[in-house]
Each structure stands twice: as C-alpha cells, then as structure tokens.
Structure 1
Amino acid sequence: MVKLQQNVDAIRISTRIEALACCSSTSIGVTRLPFSVESTAAERLVEEWMKAAGMSVRKDGLNNIIGRYEGKDSTAPVLMIGSHLDSVIEAGKYDGILGVITGIEVVQTLRDNGIVLDHPIEVVGFCDEEGVRFHSTFLGSKAIAGTFTAEDLQRADEQGITIAEALKGIGIADPYAYKNSSRTPEELLAYLELHIEQGPVLEKENEPVGVVSGIAGATRFSFEIIGKPGHAGTVPVAIRQDALLGACDLISYIEKIAFKNEPLVATVGKLTVSPGASNVIPGLVTGTLDIRDLNVERKQKAIDAIFSESERIAKARGLQIKFEQVMEADPVYCNEEMIKLIEESISERSGSVITLVSGAGHDAMAMADVTNVAMIFVRCKDGLSHHPDEFVTVEDMGAGAEILYSTVIKIATKQ
C-alpha cells in the first residue's frame, strides 16, 4: 500500500456533487437527460475537474467524457473507472455521479501524492445509463463495449428526436462516429465502478461500503387477464369471471414465490383495470411482471411456478391469463480476483466485508461484454434512490473513496 501524504478529500467530492445537482431541468430533485443543455453544463464541470486532477480529457463519438491519467507504460491496458452523468426524472444527487466524482478524486489523490501507476487510468462519465429519454439503457457504456448499433441511433424520444439528431444538436456532426468509441479487450485491464447501494443492506449492517458479487439478471413480462365484465349489482359473486380478483390471486402468489426464493425479487409494477368503472365487474387486467436474480436456474424455476399457478387460477375463475416476455437481461458476475482486492481494501480499513448482489442495472453490465468488472457499493440513507431525498454522508463518501483508491493501487500496479 502506497503511503499518502495527501488523503482523499470527501468534502471536495461532496461540494462537486452539489455543483452538479444544479445542472437540472427541474427544481425538485435532479433531472438531467442526455444530450441536453443540462448535461452539457455538467460535462463542462466534469471536464474542468478532470483537468485539475492532471488528466487529459476528450469526448468520444457518443459524447462519453473520458479523462486519462497516464501510467508508467502508456501502451499498457487501461484501468477504467466510471459511472453515468444522466439521471431519472426528479432524481437524487448521487446516483451515478458519486462514481464519476470519486473516480476523479482518486486520480487527483494520486497526482497530489506524485504517484504514477504502471497502468494508465481512465475515468469515464457515461452519457446515458438510465434510458429515460430514449427508452434504452446503457447507451454510453454499450458504445465503449462495442455493442451499440446503427439501429440504436434511430431510437427516438417523446418529441420524435432520434439519438442521431440529438448528437448533431450538441455538435457531433457524424453520429456514426460512435463506432470510434469502442474498445477492445486488449486495450482494457478492467472496469471498476463505485455506486450508491440503492438498497438498505449496508445501512442495516452499519457498514459504509460493500463489495458486489454480481448484478442480477432480469426477466420482464407483460400480462393480460381476460374475464367477463358484468353489472356489479346483478351478477352473483359465485359465477363471476372477475379479472381483477384473478390478478389479486396471481400477485399474492408472486409475492409468495419471491419469499420462498430469496434473494430473488419479483415486482408487479403496473396494473390497468378495464373497463374501470365502479359499477362494472372488471373484465380485463393488464400488467407487468419484473423478476430479478443472480441465479438463472432459480429465477427460471420461479417463472415456471408462476406460469403453472396462473393456469390453476385461470381454470378456477373461468379466466384466460396470457404472458408475453418483453425483456431478458443476463446476470453479470464480478471478477473474483477484483472482488478479493476490494475485500482486502475494506479489511485494511478495519471494516467488515459485506457482499451484496445488485438488483439494479449498472454500466458494469454493459462493460462486462469487453472486460472484467467489479463494483463497490456505498451506503445511502434508508436505501433510498431515484428520489430527491437520496442521501450519502460525507463520511461514507470518504470511506468509499478510500476503498476505491486502495483498490485502484492494487489493480493498476504490476505484480
């Protein structure tokens, strides 16, 4: 471990996060969509701080901002540290941003201590992870991983503006320059991401930092339950084909399956009831089902059980229940060697090693297509995220930065 003369500065991290929070199109929380006036303002600040930390700065063809801190061997594979600069609507200040700003702080600490590692370090602020504007996630990291496509350029927002048009609107004349963003496995040593936990485990365990073992795979369905509408006052309960009661049975069973298969999680996040009148028996219910787990086999068994139960419910209530799969994302396992190095860094700081599975998606999922990945989680108050009240203490920011710094030293120093 390299002895520091200048430590990481948690106050500086916090101050910069507060400054970025002002780059928002809403006064409640933070709303910063990609390729917008607000994102451009945020990128200017990030560029300024990257340069102050001793990095050369560039933007790639999809508007990811990349700061590079040169290593002893400029031709050696790069250790990439990153997260995203975009947000959901009326979000908190820390989601994504904490990882970018902490990455910059780590490099600044290296520079301030006169430390040059064997491998170059690049800190990346990805242009779009959340997928709010164009309804497709990980756009920035997919470009670097080489999985962004020409078809993706034609994705449009609610105003009909495509990604290609949005790129032109911020001065990228050739949208097909995204192809120059991609990196090869030979160019990258690894990808490391620090992120708020977005859950309650670290707070429950009273630990500021945890190590991520993997990111859960997700399967998403739309479903419809078809019954028979009728007069609420004249059709006896015993002979009704009430689609909403069928939905209640189904949702209750989904919760039961989730409890039985923890840490699997299952969510019915949207329901629409038709015809939707107080004096009419519901004849149709449509909804969504989202199931996530790191264990693919366990997730599939839960899905099969839900399908089987839906058939029983349909038969018992005289309904039709139909599912359509609309999304499938494979789980991502973090690199075991990198996990061990993060665990060592936590232990050296006299912390207890807490291992977590991420139920939320992160840029590390896309980057896993091109290199080994690992993640560090930082505690957030009440496990709250995607909300204006999202909060991380300065002390926990400092703990996360120290663990990230120590881990970067270990990874980017040749043995």
Structure 2
Amino acid sequence: MVSALPPGGARAVARCDELGVAPYSDLPDSLYRGYLTPAHRAALDRVGAWMVEAGMQIRIDPAANLIGRYEGLAPDPPALIIASHIDSVRDGGRYDGPLGIMLGIEAVAALQGRRLPFAIEVIAFGDEEGSRFPAAMLTSRAVAGTLDASALDMIDAHGISVAEALAEMGLDVVEYLTAARAPGTALAYLEAHIEQGPLLEAEGLAVGTVTGIAAQLRYEITVTGTAGHAGTTSMPLRRDALAGAAEMILAVETIAGAAASDLVATVGRIEASPGAANVIPGSVTFTLDVRAGDPTRRDEAAADILEAIRAIAGPSSFPREGGVPGSQAIPSVAPVPPPSRGYSGFAQDGAGSRNLDVAITLIHDLPASPCDPALMDLLDAATTAAGHPIRRLVSGAGHDAMVMAALCPTAMLFIRCRGGISHNPAEHVDPADAEIALAVMSGFIDRLGATLDPA
C-alpha cells in the first residue's frame, strides 16, 4: 500500500504506479490520461490530497493545472516552481511526467515545516503531451504567459472542444489565459524527469544535470510521382514515390549518423497513396524531425538533409527564385543550394535521379532552451553532496521547462530509466534512483535558499 510507505523516493515511485491504473487512466487495460478527461480529474483529486498531506495549500488554476503552495518566511514571497506534467500518451509509461510531481511533493514533505526565503509551488501541468488536443504544452504556456488565444480553438478526435472539456470541470475558457503568472512571482523553475534515453544507464549513473533542451525542426515532406499499374508499368518508366521516399529516409539516417554528435534526425510517420497492393505509389508524405543542442548544428544538418532529398527527387525539385514550389518559407534554415557536397549514394546533378516532385513544409521551429548556469551549478553541487558524480547532458525531448524559461530561470534533473525506454508500458525507474534524485532536489532547495539568505 502506498499509504504504508515512508516518505521518500520509493513512495514517489509507488504513487506513480498507483496513478497508472483506473480510475486514473482513461483506458481499461493500459495507461492513457488525457487532458480534461475523467482520469485527469481523478488524478487531480488524488495528487491534491498528497499535496495537502505534505503541508501545501492547493488550488486549480483556470487552465486546470493543480498547484500546491508551501509558503516561505516572508509574506507572499516569490516561488520556486517544481513541476512536470500529469497527462500521458496512449499506452504510455507511469513515470514520464508524474515522477517529477511526486518528487516535488516529497521535497516539500522533507522540509517538515521548515520555511525558506521563498515559497515552493508544486505544479501538475495538465497538458504537455498534446495527446488529446492537437497542440502540446498548452497549460505551461498558459502559466508562462506565452499562449495565444487562438490555440484554444481546437477539438479532440470526438469533436469535443477545449471550451466544452473545461466546462465539464467547472472552468471557463474565457478565463484560460488568466492562468499567466505575473512577472516576479516565480524565482526559478525546477523539473525532475526521467531521461527518456539510455545515456545515464550506459554510464552507470542515477542522475544528471540537464544543460538545455535541444533545438528542434519538424517538416512535412510530400513526394509526388505517378501512380500506375503494378503489372504493366516497366521498371525504367516508373516514377515511384515510395521508392524515392525510401531512399530519402535512408539519406536522413546517413547524414544524421555521420555527425557523431548529439544531433538526431527521425522520420516518424509515412503515408503512401493510393495504398493498393497492385498500384505503384503516386504520392508519399512523411515527417522529418531534426534536433541538436546547438541550433547551428541542427540547421546545417537540416540543410544537408533537404539538399539530399531534393537531389534524390531530381533537378526539378531544387528551389527556384521564390522558394520551394508547393512549400512555405523556411526562415530558420539557410537557403539550400543545388547539391555539391558529393554525398555517397545520393543522386547528383540529376544523374540517376528519380524524376519526382517534392514539397517541403516547415511544421515548427523550436529554439534551443538552455538551462540557467547558476542553477546548474547548484544541481551539480547537490549531486556531489549526495555522493554521486556530476554528469551534464542535453535533453533531446521537449519539456515544460522550455516553455517556463520565458518566465524565469530554469533547471532540470534527469533520472535514469531502464533501457532508456519511455512512452511505453515498459518504462521503469528504480526507487533507489528516485531516492537519489530526491536528495539532489533537497540539496538544490537548501542551496538556493542559502543564496537568498542575507545571513
């Protein structure tokens, strides 16, 4: 039983486990906790009770974020925000998001009533994943004051609008943007999160200090050829969009792999049309996601990848004056010249090209979000004091911390997860690692207090 466990990292893990099943999941046999769903509401009730038990006062803000506040020494002092997200992807893991919230609650409980020069607010953000409505980080953007009202004009897969879903929780979409915090009310932001990668495990480390969140570019690429009968169109006469896309996808892997850095590039979705077994694909659409800690390295790699894609398609696909036909402007990546770098295996100057058309559309451009150097130093010092070596690493995944950087300085602590697996039921965190993370967070809090204490 969770209630029988003593305070600490093991209890934080056990509480995540409790939230992984009904009524805290919207699916009967796996975990999915969508924003503003019955499972979300049930989770807020349970987590709110744990916050109260730890000595916090709780409230639900206009964006349906649960906020637990532990007051500081002075009246109405600025707050250290410790937060992560309570929502989950479909068939997800139990620790991605909730563990950071549970560790925040445990960090407050560990104070045992001791007050600091600042308040602590533990926030359970309602939507980071974007798994119900087609936009991510809605609720942290609302708190940071960076959310545009137009983002709320959305419906889910069942035709339910954000406004209707809020109303079911007794909230009004008209008030949503008032969740924004006033300048000066947030001292700093700390997020503890599973690494969602294998580096810490590979190096035998329990925790690491995050230096920043990688810059990310995402494109949608449409390759157009000619659909034809699979039995009557000879191979030399084909304009096979799927075969061309396959070569392009291998080029993505080759270029990203050759970088030998934190650069990663991924094709996560591909759709071929018309999708019949006896028809040559005439059109293929796939996504391209490029990330790196250094935005210049990201942009150069994206330019190289797009250059290779156009070379494979053929000379007609290269940008003429006015940009790429059929695509929108790509402001963050320098104009791509015709191929000149001699990538092995890629068609050059039309020789062996596939005579395909390609349209490239920029979906989003997320800048790198560096963590605050002074806060990173505090995390490092707390890690050393807890008896563990310092390891700094970049986050390839996006987090609420990148949004909250618009409001205040940010810090992130990564926690080892088995196999680097996340967004999967096999997601696992050792309770002993959670205990180490809690010790580092508590040390960070004490050191932050010491920087503000005039004594």
User: The TM-score by the shorter chain falls in which range?
Assistant: over 0.9
Match of 2:229 among 231, 235, 244: 231
Cα distance in 2, alignment partners of residues 180 and 243 from structure 1? 48
SS in 2 for 1:21: coil
1:116 aligns with 2:115: yes
Q: Which runs of 5+ in 2 are unaligned?
A: 1-5, 315-352
2:212 is the counterpart of 1:175: no
- The alignment partner of 2:191 has SS state of strand
Whether the aligned pair in 2 keeps the contact of 1:8 and 1:398 (CA below 8 Å) is no
Given that 2:13 and 2:95 are in contact with CA atoms closer than 8 Å, whether structure 1 keeps it comes out as no
Q: Deviations over 1:73-94 (max 9, x none)?
A: 1333211000011111111111
How far is the alpha carbon of 1:106 from its aligned partner?
0.3
In the other structure, the counterpart of 2:320 is: none
Aligned twin of 1:3: none
Return the offset for 1:26. 1.7
Secondary structure of 1:369's counterpart equals coil
Deviations 1:199-235 (A, max 9, x none): 1111101111111111112111111111123333343
Partner of 1:361: 398
Take 2:158 and 2:276, find their aligned partners in 1: how far apart are those partners? 32
Deviates most, 373-382 or 148-157: 148-157
Matches within 5 A, 1:51-66: 51-66=52-67
Amino acid at match of 2:191: E
Q: How many Å apart are 1:182 and its aligned residue?
A: 1.0
Deviation (angstroms), 1:59 = 1.1
Give the drift of 1:127. 1.1
Listed as ranges, the matches of 1:270-289 within 5 Å are 270-289=269-288
Match of 2:198 in 1: 200
Query: TM-score, normalized by length of structure 1?
Result: 0.94
Q: List 4+ stretches of structure 1 deviating above 4 A.
A: none
What is the aligned partner in structure 1 of residue 377 from structure 2? 340
Q: 1:396 aligns with which of 420, 426, 433?
A: 433
Cα shift readout 1:273-319 (whole Å, capped 9, x = no counterpart): 22333333222211111111121111111111122222221221111
TM-fit CA distance, 1:363 = 0.7
Q: Tell me how far apart the structure 1 counterparts of residues 29 and 290 of structure 2 sit (CA, whole Å).
A: 30
1:19-48 deviation line (CA, Å, top 9, x unaligned): 222211223331111111111111111111
1:72-221 correspondence to structure 2 within 5 Å: 72-111=73-112, 114-172=113-171, 174-221=172-219
Contact 2:251 2:309 in 1 (8 A): no
Supply the distance in 2 between the matched residues of 1:277 and 1:143 (Cα, whole angstroms).
Answer: 45
2:360 matched residue in structure 1: 323
In the alignment of these two chains, the number of paired residues is 406
CA 1:278–1:19 in structure 2 vs 1: closer, same or farther (change >3 Å)? Answer: closer
Q: How far, CA to CA, are the matches of 1:232 and 1:35 in structure 2?
A: 48
Q: Does the C-alpha gap of structure 1 residues 242 and 97 become closer, same or farther in structure 2, counting only changes over 3 Å?
A: same
- Residue aligned with 1:202, SS: helix
Distance, in Å, in 1 between the alignment partners of 2:95 and 2:117 is 30
What pairs with 1:288-307 in structure 2 (closer than 5 Å)? Answer: 288-307=287-306
* Partner Cα distance (1:214, 1:283) in 2: 41
Percent identity of paired positions between Structure 1 and Structure 2: 40
SS of structure 2 residue aligned to 1:192:
strand
**TM norm structure 2:** 0.86
Contact 1:8 1:401 in 2 (8 A): no
- 1:372 aligns to what? 409
* 1:8 CA displacement: 5.4
Alpha-carbon spacing, 1:150–1:281, altered in 2? closer, same or farther (3 Å): closer
Contact 1:29/1:387 (<8 A) preserved: no
CA distance in 2, matches of 1:320, 1:237: 18
Q: Quick one: distance in 1 between partners of 2:173 and 2:281?
A: 48
Matching residue's letter, 2:189: Y
Instruction: Give, in whole Å, the separation in 1 of the partners of 2:309 and 2:14.
Output: 52
Q: Which residue in 2 is equivalent to 1:41?
A: 42
Distance (Å, rounded) in 2 between the aligned partners of 1:25 and 1:335: 37
Unaligned 5+ segments in structure 1 are 1-6
Asked if structure 2 preserves the Cα contact closer than 8 Å seen for 1:65 and 1:124, the reply is yes
Mark the CA change 1:272 to 1:48 in structure 2 (over 3 Å): closer, same or farther: same
Contact 1:126 1:140 in 2 (8 A): yes
Q: Distance in 2 between matches of 1:208 and 1:200?
A: 11
**1:147, distance to aligned residue in structure 2 (A):** 1.6
